[in-house]
């Protein structure tokens, strides 16, 4: 390169990462492209895969699209991104979907990420998408989870080099509902997808992989920032449990204790460290140290050795370098009194200098087989243990009686308290399915499912607490039984509260539900009568013209469609009441939603007076739900209004919100009352599900006005 000529700027890469198809990666990519285009950037859609999804295709409208390059391979026709055309067009920003895609043979590059690298080298910013299962390092894991071999993979380093990585997250339940609604796959593929790849367990595991992978990338950025700015203090952004391993035969208990601490905090790290020196912590045999290294690996942790003559200082250096938040050590083998008098033990020095690092001291198995000559110390130890047990029992009872903990969480506390590998609360079968027990709640791996476990303590005639693990002494068994009593009492109380709440709901809601069903029945009867009258006229003896016949057929179809809509509304209202309806909030173009709502009213262009300004802002909403709300309310307004006075639909923006008004000229609405129609009830509940408001305004000249208030996208925080 000639002297004095600056190197060409390399483009930036923004990556939208998802756990599975359908979570909204392409939609998010297009939304970002539209935002940059609105700010004046030169944006082109180099390659977008809408997969037939209407909302995705709608989000791409208005973006310049570079035509694809047609390809032929083995007698079949394909299209790929025209890399040369994009380079020649040289936009500021290129949208390129599916980064891990394999190009058709004959393209210049085998992989799409290689095409993206050329765009970046040319100084073009790229926004792209990727699913977590396409990362090479996770291909084996995702195959085990889903049973599907991923043939299209991406080197992790390519994704790690992205300037910005944003996770497009969605719960498994919400994604499965999107599929049921037909928003991901066509109808003929939905059932197979739900029963295979998109099972809840698969989606949960893939989501966890995506969350953890992104968390690691965030952590890398944080560590770089702390290093660049010379920050040594611990930032407790993530739990890191460091365990000091001495290489002694009984260190396994210390390691397992640290692993249990880490397991109670999802996403935490277990870091084992051994200080290499000739005495102190490193005095154990090498064989034991190798076994402990393997144990740490089996528990999902990492093992490191650090040099240091001063063990406490070396451990502190390691903890600070790793941004550890907790440190676990084994108790010293020296007598407790000697240790306290000396004041120079490693745990004591660590605790004094650890600052923001919590230090846990774990007793070792078989610390000493000798009798303790100091009776006072033994009495003090027993008193301390009794006080700790009493505190634990009190804490458990308070949690149960206050309703702050559910049964699995309380069982996990009991399991940890008594050092068991798993515990179950068993309930006797009384459903006619035969004798025996079933698990009501559990904690730990492979919880017992019968009263024949190593630990089995009857609590009542109906409940038994069972556990796997170490045998319990008589004192431990009595304490465990005491802990089980408030647990069962709390479970019984919660069940009774749920029954009482359900009964109260039945009583208080019966009148409103009866009124709603009665009103819905009246509407359905009216519509069916209209359909019947039209069909009777068609079948009657009177001679009618083709135009009259077409009008009667249209009347019958509209009436039947309204009945069908009523049934759909009832079903959706039930889904809302049971919490089975998920919202997908994103920036939405109100012009497009209003057009879609009017189109859903049917052909013929119903008489509606529209008043919509050109500068109407985008709003935060679920596009499908908002379209449904506007369609239903406008249909009711049309039905209520006389032919000579059509309803009015107006929109305006003010104060960071957009307001939509639907005004009809039907019967006067009673002051202070809400319509008792199913359509209004559903519209109100759907609006509230999006976090917005819907109200009725009074009209002086009769009729009613329904007002929907939505937050403008520019002034709202987009939920993730």
User: What CATH code is carried by the domain that includes residue 658?
Assistant: 3.30.565.10
Structure tokens at 648: 């009015």
pLDDT of residue 553: 73
161 with 142, same domain: the answer is yes
648-654 and 657-663 beta bridge pairing: antiparallel
- Is residue 234 situated within a structural domain? no
Domain boundary among 499, 527, 561: 499
pLDDT single digits (tens) 62-95: 999 999 999 888 888 889 999 999 999 999 999 9
DSSP string over 9-64: PPPPEEEEEESSTTSSHHHHHHHHHHHHHHTT--EEEEE---TT-HHHHHHHTTSE
Q: What is the DSSP letter of 165?
A: E
Q: What is the DSSP letter of 73?
A: E
Burial label for 328, CB within 10 Å (0-12, 13-18, 19+), is buried
420 with 474, same domain: the answer is yes
pLDDT of residue 714: 67
- Is residue 377 situated within a structural domain? no
94 with 135, same domain: the answer is yes
pLDDT of residue 277: 61
The answer to whether 290 and 319 are in contact (CB under 8 A) is no
CA distance 63 to 440: 55
pLDDT of residue 491: 75
Whether the predicted pLDDT of 146 surpasses 90: no
DSSP string over 458-509: E-SSSEEEEEEESPPPHHHHHHHHHHHHHHHHHHHHHHHHHHHHHHHHHHHH
Distances (CA, A) of 718 to 28, 178, 251, 637: 11, 19, 49, 32
Structure tokens at 510: 């019966």
Give strand pairing partners of 420: 469
Number of domains forming the structure of the chain = 5
- Is residue 7 situated within a structural domain? no
What is the Rg, in whole angstroms, of the alpha carbon atoms belonging to the chain? 34
439 with 513, same domain: the answer is no
pLDDT of residue 339: 42
CA distance 162 to 524: 57
pLDDT of residue 576: 55
- Is residue 3 situated within a structural domain? no
Domain boundary among 542, 577, 612: 577
CA-based nearest residue to 680, from 492, 504, 564, 516: 516
Q: What is the DSSP letter of 109?
A: S
CA distance 402 to 595: 52
pLDDT of residue 67: 94
pLDDT of residue 679: 67
CA-based nearest residue to 491, from 459, 514, 521, 515: 459
Provide the angle, in degrees to the nearest 10, between the axes of the packed helices 546-577 and 678-689: 50
Q: Which of 164-178, 391-405, 523-537 has the lowest mean pLDDT?
A: 391-405
pLDDT of residue 3: 42
200 with 273, same domain: the answer is no
Domain boundary among 470, 499, 528: 499
Spatial neighbors of 684 by CB under 8 A, at least 6 apart, are 674, 694
30 with 146, same domain: the answer is yes
The predicted model gives 156-168 an average pLDDT of 88
Q: What mean pLDDT is reported for the chain?
A: 75
The sign of the dihedral angle between the CA atoms of 599, 604, 609, 615 is positive
Q: What is the CATH number of the domain that holds 310?
A: 3.40.50.620
Residue scoring higher pLDDT (236 or 361): 361
77 with 99, same domain: the answer is yes
The predicted model gives 139-158 an average pLDDT of 83
Confidence of residue 161 (pLDDT cuts 50, 70, 90): confident
Spatial neighbors of 241 by CB under 8 A, at least 6 apart, are 258, 261, 262, 268, 269, 270, 271, 324, 325, 326, 327, 328
- Is residue 5 situated within a structural domain? no
pLDDT single digits (tens) 312-363: 888 888 887 777 888 888 866 544 433 433 445 676 667 666 666 777 777 6
pLDDT single digits (tens) 131-141: 998 988 887 78
339 with 399, same domain: the answer is no
- Is residue 235 situated within a structural domain? no
Whether the predicted pLDDT of 125 surpasses 80: yes
Q: What is the CATH number of the domain that holds 466?
A: 3.30.450.40
The predicted model gives 464-470 an average pLDDT of 85
Distances (CA, A) of 247 to 279, 293, 316, 350, 367: 11, 9, 19, 19, 15
93 with 215, same domain: the answer is yes
The predicted model gives 267-291 an average pLDDT of 68
17 with 36, same domain: the answer is yes
- Is residue 1 situated within a structural domain? no
The answer to whether 414 and 483 are in contact (CB under 8 A) is yes
657-663 and 704-711 beta bridge pairing: antiparallel
594 with 664, same domain: the answer is yes
Task: Output phi, psi for 381, to 5 deg.
Answer: -60, -45
Whether the predicted pLDDT of 642 surpasses 80: yes
Assign 516 to helix, strand or coil.
helix
Confidence of residue 618 (pLDDT cuts 50, 70, 90): confident
The predicted model gives 157-180 an average pLDDT of 86
592 with 676, same domain: the answer is yes
- Is residue 4 situated within a structural domain? no
Domain range spanning residue 455? Answer: 383-499
Q: Residues for the chain: how many in total?
A: 720
């Amino acid at each position: 390169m000639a002297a004095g000529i600056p190197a060409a700027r390399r483009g930036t890469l923004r990556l939208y990462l998802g756990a599975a198809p359908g979570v909204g990666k392409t939609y998010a990519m297009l939304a970002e492209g539209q935002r940059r285009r609105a700010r004046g950037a030169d944006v082109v859609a180099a390659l977008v895969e809408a997969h037939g999804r209407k909302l995705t295709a709608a989000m791409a409208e208005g973006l310049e699209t570079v035509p694809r390059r047609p390809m032929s391979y083995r007698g079949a026709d394909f299209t790929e991104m025209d890399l040369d055309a994009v380079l020649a067009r040289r936009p500021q920003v290129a949208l390129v979907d599916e980064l891990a895609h394999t190009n058709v043979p004959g393209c210049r590059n085998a992989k799409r990420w290689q095409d993206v690298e050329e765009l970046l080298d040319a100084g073009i910013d790229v926004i792209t998408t990727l699913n977590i299962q396409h990362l090479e390092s996770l291909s084996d894991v995702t195959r085990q989870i889903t049973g599907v071999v991923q043939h299209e993979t991406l080197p992790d380093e390519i994704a790690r080099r992205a300037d910005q990585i944003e996770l497009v997250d969605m719960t498994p339940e919400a994604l499965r509902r999107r599929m049921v609604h037909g928003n991901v796959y066509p109808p003929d593929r939905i059932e197979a997808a739900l029963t295979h790849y998109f099972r809840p367990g698969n989606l949960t595991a893939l989501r966890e992989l995506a969350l953890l992978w992104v968390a690691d990338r965030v952590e890398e950025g944080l560590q770089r920032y702390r290093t660049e700015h010379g920050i040594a203090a611990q930032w407790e952004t993530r739990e890191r449990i460091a365990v000091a391993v001495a290489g002694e035969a009984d260190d396994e208990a210390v390691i397992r204790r640290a692993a249990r601490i880490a397991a109670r905090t999802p996403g935490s790290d277990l870091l084992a460290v051994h200080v290499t020196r000739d005495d102190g912590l490193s005095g154990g045999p090498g064989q034991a140290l190798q076994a402990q290294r393997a144990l740490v690996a089996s528990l999902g942790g990492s093992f490191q050795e650090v040099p240091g003559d001063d063990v406490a200082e070396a451990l502190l250096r390691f903890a600070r370098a790793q941004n550890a938040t907790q440190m676990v050590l084994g108790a010293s083998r020296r007598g407790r009194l000697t240790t306290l008098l000396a004041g120079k033990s490693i745990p004591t020095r660590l605790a004094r200098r650890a600052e923001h690092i919590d230090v846990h001291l774990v007793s070792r198995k078989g610390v000493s087989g000798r009798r303790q000559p100091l009776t006072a110390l033994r009495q003090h130890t027993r008193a301390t243990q009794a006080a700790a047990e009493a505190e634990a029992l009190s804490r458990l009872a308070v949690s149960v009686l206050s309703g702050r903990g559910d049964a699995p969480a309380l069982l996990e506390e009991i399991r940890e308290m008594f050092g068991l590998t798993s515990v179950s609360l068993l309930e006797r079968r009384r459903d006619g399915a035969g004798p025996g027990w079933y698990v009501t709640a559990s904690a730990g791996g492979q919880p017992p499912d019968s009263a024949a476990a190593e630990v089995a303590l009857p609590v009542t005639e109906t409940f038994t607490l069972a556990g796997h693990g170490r045998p319990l002494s008589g004192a431990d068994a009595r304490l465990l039984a005491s802990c089980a009593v408030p647990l069962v009492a709390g479970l019984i109380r919660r069940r009774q509260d749920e029954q009482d709440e359900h009964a109260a709901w039945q009583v208080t809601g019966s009148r409103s539900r009866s009124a709603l069903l009665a009103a819905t029945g009246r509407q359905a009867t009216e519509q069916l009568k209209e359909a019947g009258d039209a069909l009777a006229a068609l079948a009657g003896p009177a001679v009618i013209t083709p135009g009259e016949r077409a009008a009667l057929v249209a009347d019958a179809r509209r009436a039947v469609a309204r009945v069908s809509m009523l049934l759909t509304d009832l079903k959706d209202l039930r889904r809302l009441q049971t919490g089975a309806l998920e919202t997908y909030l994103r920036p939405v173009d109100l012009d497009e939603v209003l057009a879609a709502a009017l189109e859903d009213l049917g052909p013929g262009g119903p008489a509606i007076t529209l008043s919509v300004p050109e500068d109407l802002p985008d709003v935060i909403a679920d596009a499908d739900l908002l379209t449904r709300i506007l369609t239903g309310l406008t249909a009711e307004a049309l039905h209520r209004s006389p032919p000579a006075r059509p309803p009015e639909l107006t929109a305006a923006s003010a104060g960071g919100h957009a307001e939509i008004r639907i005004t009809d000229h039907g019967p006067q609405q009673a002051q202070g009352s809400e319509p008792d129609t199913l359509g209004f009830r559903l519209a109100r509940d759907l609006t509230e599900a999006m976090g917005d408001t819907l109200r009725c305004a009074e009209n002086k000249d009769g009729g009613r006005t329904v007002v929907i208030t939505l937050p403008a996208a520019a002034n709202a925080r987009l939920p993730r």
